[in-house]
C-alpha cells in the first residue's frame, strides 16, 4: 500500500504549485477578507489569491481607536508643535510601516528604531507590528545580522528559511558595540532571491518579502561604505515615557520630550486601529514612496556614517595632509599605511576584522588618495615604491 501511495504521489504532485502560493505582495489577508494595499480596499477572499497566511484580526478602516494610535505615534516621534514639531518624522515612520507590510523590498532599507533612553516607545511599535503581522513577523536572534564565521556552502540554514513569507524580520535590542555583517545586510535588504535549507531538507530559493527592523539603544558597528550606508534608515525615538514619583526615571513636566506613561497600554494595545493606520500609510507609499528623508533622520544617518568611518578617523588622528606634488610632497608607503590603519582599527573597533589591501586601496581612492604603484622621484626614499600621495604619518606609526 505504501509503495502505491508513493507512485500516486509522484504522479499527481505539481512541483510548481508551491511557487504559486503567497506570491501577491500587494494584498494582505485578514479575518474578514483581503485588503488591496494599493487602494486600502477590503475585498472578499477568493481562491485565486492563493494565500496560506492570514492575520488574526479584522480590517476596519473606521476603527474608533485610530485617533489613539495616531496620538501614540505622534508622541513617540515628538511630532506635535508643542513638542519638537517633527511631523515629517511621523509621516516617515508611517510610510515605512506601511511599506513593511506590503512584502516589497525595493526600497532596500534596514530600519533602526534608535532610542538611547529607557521607555521611549520603540518597544510599543515592535509589539504592535508583531501582533498585526502574526505569523508574518519573524523575531530573529541577535546573531542573525552580526559578523561571524562563514557558514559552509549547502549547510542547513533554518534562520534563512524562516524569512520565507515573512514581511518583517526583527532584531531586538542589539548589544552596544556589536559588529554587523555588511554582506548579510546587503543580502536580506536587497532584491536578490534568498537561498536556504531546512535541516534534512533540500536547498531552495525564494523571493525576499521581509523588511529588516532592529531596536537599539546604540547604533552597531558596520563597514562604512556607500552601498551599506544608503540602506540605513534611522528613526530617532527621543520621547521619554515616565511615571510621576519614579526616583530613578523622574518625570519633568517642563521637558518637551517627557510624557506620563500609560501603564495599561500594553494590556490593551489598539491592534485593529494600528492595522487601519498602517494600511492607509501603505496606500501613500504606493502613491509616492517613502518621500523625502526628514532632517532629524538624515542627521542621525550622517552621524552614524561618520562614527563608522574608521579610515577617515585614522587619517584625522594619525596622519597629516600635505601637497601631492612639488619639491616636498606628502607621501606614505602603502604597506605602512595598511599596518598602521589595521592597528588603529583593532584598537578602536576590536569587533571588526582587519581590512583587506584591495578594500583599503578602494576606500583611500574614494577619499582622494589614489595608490601610486611605482612612484618615481630621484633621490627619494619612496622611489619605485607603492605610495599614497597627499598625506604622511603624524608619527603614530
* Residue 348, domain CATH: 1.10.10.10
Asked if 248 and 369 sit in the same domain, the reply is: no
In angstroms, the first-to-last Cα distance of the chain is 77
Find the range with the poorest average confidence among 14-23, 38-47, 101-110, 181-190: 14-23
Of the candidates 273, 277, 271, 397, which has an alpha carbon nearest to the alpha carbon of residue 344?
397
Residues 6+ apart with CB under 8 A from 267: none
Query: Which helix (H) or strand (E) segment is 99 a member of?
Result: helix 87-100
Kindly state whether residue 368 falls inside one of the protein's structural domains: yes
Q: Are residues 296 and 354 in the same domain?
A: no
Residue position matching grid coordinates 532632517: 295
Mean pLDDT in the chain?
90
Asked if the structure places residue 53 within a domain, the reply is no
Distance of CA 218 to the CA centre of its chain: 14
Of 152, 131, 150, 130, the residue nearest 139 (C-alpha)? 130
Could you count the other beta carbons within 10 Å of the beta carbon of residue 33?
Answer: 18
Q: 225 and 351: one domain?
A: no
Asked, for residue 30, whether it belongs to a domain, the answer is: no
Do 127 and 193 fall into the same domain?
yes
Do 362 and 290 fall into the same domain?
no
Question: Are 287 and 316 in the same domain?
Answer: no
Residue 236 lies in a domain: yes
What does the pLDDT look like over 85-104, one tens digit per residue?
999 999 999 999 999 999 99
Provide the sign of the torsion angle of the four alpha carbons 224, 309, 323, 380, taken in this order: negative
142, 171 contact by CB (below 8 A): yes
Q: Are 240 and 117 in contact (CB under 8 A)?
A: yes
- Is 204 found in the same domain as 155? yes
* Boundary of a domain, candidates 271, 290, 305: 305
**Distance of alpha carbon 246 from alpha carbon 249, whole angstroms:** 6
Given this model, what pLDDT does residue 153 score? 57
Residues 289 and 273 both lie in one domain: yes
Q: 43-66 burial, b for 16+ CB within 10 Å, e for fewer?
A: eeeeeebebeebbebebbeebebb
Let me know whether 118 and 203 are in one domain.
yes
> Is the domain of 265 the same as that of 356?
no
Residues 285 and 320 placed together within one structural domain of the fold: no
Which residues have CB under 8 Å from 353's CB, separation 6+? Answer: 147
Residue at 18 is within a domain: no
Least confident of 110-124, 152-166, 266-280, 329-343: 152-166
Among the candidates 289, 305, 321, a domain finishes at 305
Q: For residue 67, what pLDDT is reported?
A: 98
The structural domain count of the chain equals 2
Given a cut of 90, whether residue 61 has pLDDT beyond it is: yes
Residue 286 has pLDDT above 90, yes or no: yes
Q: Is the same domain home to 168 and 249?
A: yes
Contact partners, residue 256, CB within 8 Å, separation at least 6: 78, 82, 83, 84
Q: Is 311 exposed, middle or buried (0-12, 13-18, 19+ CB in 10 A)?
A: buried
Distances (CA, A) of 337 to 231, 345, 361, 379, 392: 29, 12, 10, 22, 9
pTM for the model stands at: 0.86
Given pLDDT bands bounded at 50, 70 and 90, which one contains residue 172?
A: confident
Mean pLDDT on 14-42:
91
Q: Residue 190 has what pLDDT?
A: 78
In this structure, is residue 211 part of a structural domain?
Answer: yes
pLDDT, mean of residues 379-394? 84
For the four alpha carbons of 191, 20, 97 and 179, in that order, the dihedral sign comes to negative
108: left (phi over 0), alpha (psi -120 to 50) or beta: left
> Is 28 a domain residue?
no
Asked if residue 181 lies in contact with residue 175, where contact means CB atoms within 8 angstroms, the answer is no
For residue 196, what pLDDT is reported? 82
pLDDT of residue 183: 85
Domain of 252, CATH number, reads 3.40.50
- CA 230, chain centre distance (Å): 10
Listed residues 244, 273, 305: the one ending a domain: 305
Q: Is residue 50 part of a domain?
A: no
Calculate ∠ Cα 311-312-314, nearest 5°: 65
Residue-range definition of the domain harbouring residue 295 = 61-305
pLDDT band at residue 379, thresholds of 50, 70 and 90? Answer: low
Amino acid at each position: 500500500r505504501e509503495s502505491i501511495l508513493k507512485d500516486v504521489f509522484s504522479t499527481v504532485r505539481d512541483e510548481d504549485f508551491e511557487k504559486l502560493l503567497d506570491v501577491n505582495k500587494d494584498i494582505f489577508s485578514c479575518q474578514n477578507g483581503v485588503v488591496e494595499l494599493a487602494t486600502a480596499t477590503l475585498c472578499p477572499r477568493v481562491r485565486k489569491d492563493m494565500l496560506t497566511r492570514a492575520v488574526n484580526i479584522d480590517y476596519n478602516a473606521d476603527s474608533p481607536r485610530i485617533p489613539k494610535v495616531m496620538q501614540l505615534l505622534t508622541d513617540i516621534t515628538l511630532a506635535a508643535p508643542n513638542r519638537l514639531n517633527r511631523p515629517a518624522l511621523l509621516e516617515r515612520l508611517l510610510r515605512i510601516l506601511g511599506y513593511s507590510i506590503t512584502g516589497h523590498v525595493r526600497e532596500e532599507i534596514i530600519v533602526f528604531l534608535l532610542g538611547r533612553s529607557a521607555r521611549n516607545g520603540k518597544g510599543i511599535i515592535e509589539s504592535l507590528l508583531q501582533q498585526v503581522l502574526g505569523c508574518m513577523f519573524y523575531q530573529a536572534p541577535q546573531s542573525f545580522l552580526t559578523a561571524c564565521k562563514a557558514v559552509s556552502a549547502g549547510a542547513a540554514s533554518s534562520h534563512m528559511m524562516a524569512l520565507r513569507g515573512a514581511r518583517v524580520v526583527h532584531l531586538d535590542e542589539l548589544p552596544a558595540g556589536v559588529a554587523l555583517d555588511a554582506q548579510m545586510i546587503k543580502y536580506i535588504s536587497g532584491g536578490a532571491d534568498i537561498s536556504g535549507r531546512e535541516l534534512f531538507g533540500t536547498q531552495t530559493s525564494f523571493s525576499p518579502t521581509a523588511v529588516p527592523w532592529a531596536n537599539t539603544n546604540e547604533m552597531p558597528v558596520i563597514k562604512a561604505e556607500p552601498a551599506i550606508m544608503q540602506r540605513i534608515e534611522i528613526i530617532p525615538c527621543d520621547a521619554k515615557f515616565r511615571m510621576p514619583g519614579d526616583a530613578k526615571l523622574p518625570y519633568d513636566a517642563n521637558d518637551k520630550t517627557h510624557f506620563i506613561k500609560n501603564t495599561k497600554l500594553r494590556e490593551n494595545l489598539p491592534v485593529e486601529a494600528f492595522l487601519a493606520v498602517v494600511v492607509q500609510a501603505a496606500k501613500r507609499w504606493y502613491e509616492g514612496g517613502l518621500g523625502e528623508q526628514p532632517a532629524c533622520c538624515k542627521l542621525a544617518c550622517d552621524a552614524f556614517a561618520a562614527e563608522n568611518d574608521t579610515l577617515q578617523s585614522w587619517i584625522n588622528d594619525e596622519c597629516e595632509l600635505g601637497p601631492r606634488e612639488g619639491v616636498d610632497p606628502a607621501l606614505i608607503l602603502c604597506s605602512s599605511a595598511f599596518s598602521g590603519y589595521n592597528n588603529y582599527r583593532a584598537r578602536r573597533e576590536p569587533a571588526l576584522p582587519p581590512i583587506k589591501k584591495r578594500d583599503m586601496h578602494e576606500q583611500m581612492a574614494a577619499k582622494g588618495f589614489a595608490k601610486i604603484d611605482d612612484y618615481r622621484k630621484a633621490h627619494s626614499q619612496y622611489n619605485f615604491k607603492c605610495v599614497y600621495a597627499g598625506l604622511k604619518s603624524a608619527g603614530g606609526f
